[in-house]
Chain A
Amino acid sequence: MPETITHVKTSCYHCGDECLTSSYQIEEKQFCCQGCQSVYEILSGAGLCSYYHYNDHPGATRSRTDKRFDYLSDPVILAGLLDYTDEHLSVITLYIPQIHCSSCLWLLEQLNRFNPSIYYSRVDFLKKQLIVRFDPRAFSLQQLVELLYDLGYEPLISLQDIIQKQNKAEKGNLVQKIAVAGFCFGNVMLLSFPEYFGLSGYEQTFSHFFGYLNILFTLPVVFFSGRGYFISAWHNLKNGILNIDFPLALGIAVLFLRTAVEVITHTGAGFADTLCGLVFFLLVGRFVQQKTYHHISFERDYRSFFPVAVQIIEEGREKPVPLSGLVTGHRMVIRHNEIIPADAILLKGQALIDFSFVTGESVPVNKTLGEIIYAGGRQTGEAIELEVIKPVSQSYLTQLWNNEAFTRKQDNRMKTFNERVSKYFTIILIAIAVGSLLAWLPFNYRRGIDAFTAVLIVACPCALALSTPFTMSAALSIFDRNLFYLKNTAVVEQMARVNTLVMDKTGTITTGRGKRIDLSGALTGEQQQLIYSACVNSIHPLSRMICQYFGALEKLPVTYYKELPGKGITAIIGGHLLRIGSGKFIFGDFKETKLMTRVHLMIDGSFLGYFTFLQEYREGMERIGELKSAYSLYLLSGDQDHERDELLRFFPDEGHLYFSQSPQQKLDRVETLRQQGNKVMMLGDGLNDSGALKQSDLGVAVTDDVNNFSPGSDAILDGRSFHKLPAFLRFSKDTVHIIHTSFLISLTYNLVGLSYAVTGRLSPLVAAVLMPLSTVTIISFTTLATHFAAKRRKLI
């Protein structure tokens, strides 16, 4: 009879997660937990059920915990978080990672229906931000955050929020510069056409009028839009660097001066349109280069996931204290899902700490009373009390951040192709210009000056300056589509030059969430039901995985239940005695034959079999092995070496596997490799890799959810695209080839222009045609070539 139990899988009406029990139900709507059910109740109470019409299962899953937002009433913390406040109005911007669909948008913009003291709420979908204006007299920030929490949209308020608000950098006004340059470019083109088509003698007065107007239009282009190039060129010159901005600034200056002189002395029409076009295209190139990912942060460190405040117990009462005020001896209370912000000793409660932020290992660790718990762990389960033994700034985790690798200047660790080339380019350019000036000087000094200026105008490396940004931004969007997010365009070139790959194990080449679960032994339907009923009471992750393995079964009433942390469960259900747990727990003195996680099952004294939990490697690990011919592969793992044999399938050279590595050892090992002249790409995930990520030439954080925590790095790779890593590496090399080719194309244009220029007879029309033509050629070539390269590597 029990064999007929079918695995009916129902999903939660609110969040869509699988329902493990059928105890949460309203009007035939199933919910996975009390939390989701209460969200539905709140919404249906306020008549806002349309939330469920725009999408199926729009909510985010949640498990109900204690209230923990008391710190938001502390005036010091409040002042750091609010954007603006006076007696009648407060404005706050909250980051809500759960925003993901139009239902979220709809609901969050109707917050005033819950409380009329909320004047206004607006969502920025891509940044996942919610801006709320409310009346601070009638409604507090704490109430707002609690309301959002009850709706399932818990804002992420971290220590970094406060710090970032304090040093918010002035945003560049690049768009305005482009607007001005574009405006002037259009008008100047219009005014220059008559000159190119020829004006009769009687229309000469117009020619002068147009000329003066052109000068007027070039003024804002040179002094507002183009100012950055002069500043940068001057700055670099002072530091003895010849970068691409120098010939650009020189070109702009010469164009402007020659135009002004020609117009004022009535000797010609000048090059106003070339000048405006040049600045406009250059700025557009710069704009394209500045692609940013609003939803991803590359600069995260421990502060971005540490809370703003913790609850401490003082004289028998709980009160919130900002992290900076936490000192040795404080007794903190850490509840379910909260992070332990400082190294501390466990005083009370059952600690089950999830160190996935720190190590990437997702299975929580049991800690016994009196044990030291390092900062960075996340408590799961009941509330615990701890005594702080080191302040936040001196804890083990924070110490890692004080390593010199983090204070070192990060930008441009490798010189880009552009930087290397532009130095020689500038020298040759000036040599040709001066050469033609000297060649003409004995015969005709006017022609000499004409030739000198014409060389600088024609050879102005506009196409060269544009080839890199356009190729790189095209490449970046290809990577983007494949869920590989690069911090900036220079990273592509760095990736092309890498010759050594170093990988972390847990969370990087193994999947972070969930292990593979295997059942050895046969269970009847009744036995399944008994085990399910016992495990469903436990919050231990292994128990939860066992429940998921069985699916939704009916829960039987439990007569007796006892769980020994880290050992196992004893339960009496329906007259049967169940013992589920580790080998030691079941058999007393027992040695596992293999170092694997196993859960043994025993009902009424008879052994039924065991569950094995295996590390699951990311899909496509075999392909990583293919890279061994071109790259040297290393593995740095914090774990023991019991998986060595399995890993040797992927990592061919035995000498390159290192186990039991501390964060500091990982960092040192990467540094050693770099000192041997290797270009090192490090792939890691947890905070324990962050030192090595920073130390490497190219640090890639591998994560299963880009919105979750990932350590500061140059690039963030979504775990689902891990198998594409070889293709990414090859594609980055293609991209660099494309830049080289487009450099050759722009050189060809320069040579054609130069052959006109050195004779001193450069007509404005030739310059006006040549400059946009070369620009358009470069842009279309780079875009198409990148597209084809991506297709060849099967990335699109």
Chain B
Amino acid sequence: MNIIYFLIGCSVLLALIFLGAFFWAQRSGQNDDLYTPSMRILLDDDEPKADEK
């Protein structure tokens, strides 16, 4: 059963990595604007060619 010590160590480490990732995302401003990306993704990279000239 000593494997428990190792497993718990692993799980805590993993959780800490995720916590660190969240902190990084927060600090680098990724959560500052949660609305605009949802609109941006709907825009095409190339313009529609069916353009009436």
Contact = CB atoms under 8 A, between A and B. Distances in A.
Contacts of B31: 175
The 8 closest A-B pairs by CB, nearest first: A50-B47, A125-B36, A124-B33, A183-B19, A126-B35, A106-B43, A102-B39, A179-B22
Nearest to A122: B36
Contact of B36 (A105, A186, A213): A105
A206 B7 CA distance: 13
Contacts of A190: 11
Given A106-B43, A126-B36, A175-B31, A186 B15 contact: yes
Contacts of B22: 179
Contact of B26 (A47, A109, A123, A175): A175
B4 A206 contact: yes
Contact of B43 (A102, A176, A209): A102
Contact of A125 (B5, B35, B51): B35
A203 B5 CA distance: 13
Interface of B: 1, 4-5, 8, 11-12, 15, 18-19, 22-23, 26, 31-33, 35-36, 39-40, 42-44, 47-48, 51
Interface of A: 47-50, 53-54, 102, 105-106, 109, 122-127, 175-176, 179-180, 183, 186-187, 190-191, 203, 206, 209, 213
B23 A176 contact: yes
A106 B4 CA distance: 54
A125 B19 contact: no
Contacts of B33: 124-127
B43 to A, nearest CB: 5
B42 to A, nearest CB: 7
A124 B47 CA distance: 22
A623 B37 CA distance: 43
Contacts of A123: 36
24 contacts: A47-B47, A48-B47, A49-B51, A50-B47, A50-B51, A53-B51, A102-B43, A105-B40, A106-B43, A109-B40, A122-B36, A124-B32, A124-B36, A125-B35, A125-B39, A126-B35, A175-B31, A176-B23, A179-B22, A180-B19, A183-B15, A183-B19, A187-B15, A203-B1
A203 to B, nearest CB: 8
A203 B2 CA distance: 11
Contacts of A176: 23, 26
A496 B47 CA distance: 53
Contacts of A187: 11-12, 15
A209 B5 contact: yes
B34 to A, nearest CB: 9
A179 B36 contact: no
Contact of A102 (B1, B19, B23, B42): B42
A187 B13 CA distance: 11
A53 B43 CA distance: 11
A53 B48 contact: yes
A54 B43 contact: yes
A105 B15 contact: no
B46 to A, nearest CB: 9
A48 B53 CA distance: 11
Given A105-B36, A209-B5, 4 more contacts: A50-B51, A105-B43, A125-B33, A125-B39
A54 B11 CA distance: 48
Contacts of A213: 8, 12
A109 B36 CA distance: 11
A180 B12 CA distance: 13
Q: Which of A49, A50, A122, A191 has the most CB of B within 10 A?
A: A50
Contacts of A50: 44, 47-48, 51
Contacts of A209: 5
Contacts of B23: 176, 179
Nearest to A213: B8
Contacts of B18: 183
Contacts of B12: 187, 213
Nearest to A173: B26
